[in-house]
Amino acid sequence: MTDLRTHAAEITAQFSDHLDITEDEVETKLQQLVSEYKVPIDEARRSVTNSYLSDAGIERDEISRGGSERVQVNDIDADEQWVDLTVKLVDLWEPRSDSISQVGLLGDESGTIKFVSFATSELDELEEGTNYELSNVVTDEYQGRYSVKLNRTTTITEIDDEIEVGDNAETIEGALVDVQSGSGLIKRCPKEGCTRVLQNGRCAEHGEVDGEFDLRIKAVIDDGADVHDVIFNREATEELTGIELEEAKQLAMDALDTTVVADEIRTDILGRYYSVTGPTLGRYVLANEFSELTGPADPEAVLIKARSI
């Protein structure tokens, strides 16, 4: 098949639900633009596609794109990409608007991602715990968090394979450049299932309560190119700093001030290099595994790189 023929076939396929056109006539139109009018093929394709869009009276996002890419959910890192997924429906949530037919969580080996299906797309409903091949879904981004939107071109195929859903684990390395406020010895709301961190003895939900002490670190790890927010829970904080919760309470009591614990932690960890592995939760990486990178530093590889440029 010639290049033009391939493009013609793809365009014809995109409009198969909307227009009665043949590959031959699409190819003729492309041919005319490319050979007679010397238009580059990408531009020719765009122009032909646009004329069919207006013939069909539809918008660009209503036709399927050729060649959406097969990806894993945790690899999605850009807005408005057309992708194919093999996923399990992990969880369905209550839609907050009539325009949304389904909303919930899809997962594959790499992790989970939110999905939305709109009522106007008239798609079959997905069922919890079932595994699917989803073709032609579009990625979306909101405040750094990614989701996928199903749309009217999306095809849903139920599959028998059982998908093991991963935890979006990520490994980052870099220097620990900040220990943020809210780190160290904190108090949490004791109400069942709340665990909110208290501000001046108050829970945002339950008001003044008798809080329970906990330890955590909100840190920033930075490799000179990217910045990551990392959370160390109590267990991780104790392992990282060697300060146990009881000791932290004692430190705070002696100083009549809880901030001494965070100060102590800062002295212990700021400016060192760490490797941290854990699931991502919004913008945070939860430090399930970590180690300090204590070298010895190996200059060889960088020297070779430096001498080669």
Partner 1 sequence: MSQSDSSQSISREVSRRVFADEFNTASYTFKESDDERAPVYLLLPTGEQANRVFFVGTLTEKEDVGEDSEWWRGRIVDPTGTFFVYAGQYQPEAASALRELEPPAYVAVVGKPRTYETDEGEINVSIRPESITEVSAATRDQWVVETAERTIDRISRFDDEANEYARMAKEQYGDDVSAYKQTAITALESLESTDELGGPVDGDAETAEPVDTNPKP
Interface contacts to partner 1, rule CB under 8 A: 140, 142-144, 175, 177-178, 220, 222-227, 241-243, 263, 266-273, 283, 292-299, 302-303, 305-307, 309
Instruction: Find the shortest distance in angstroms from Cβ 143 to partner 1.
Output: 5
CB of 210 to partner 1, least distance (A): 30
Shortest separation between residue 48's beta carbon and partner 1, angstroms: 30
Q: Closer to partner 1 by CB, 33 or 262: give it.
A: 262
Smallest separation, CB 41 to partner 1 (Å): 24
In the complex with partner 1, the residue whose CB is nearer, 45 or 266, is 266
**What's the start-to-end Cα distance of the chain, in Å?**
43
> Of 88 and 266, which has the nearer Cβ to partner 1?
266
Nearest-angstrom CA–CA distance, 52 and 171: 46
Distance CA 220, CA 176 (A): 6
Nearer to partner 1, 1 or 225 (CB): 225
Minimum distance, C-beta of residue 293 to partner 1, in the bound complex (Å): 6
Nearer to partner 1, 212 or 292 (CB): 292
Is it true that the peptide bond before 296 is cis, omega within 30 degrees of 0?
Answer: yes
Residue 180, CA atoms < 13 Å, CB-side half-sphere: 10
For the bound state, the minimum distance from the C-beta of residue 183 to partner 1, rounded and expressed in Å, comes to: 13
Quote the least distance from Cβ 260 to partner 1, whole Å.
13
Nearer to partner 1, 70 or 272 (CB): 272
Give how far Cα 210 sits from Cα of 188, 201, 221, 283, Å.
9, 7, 33, 30
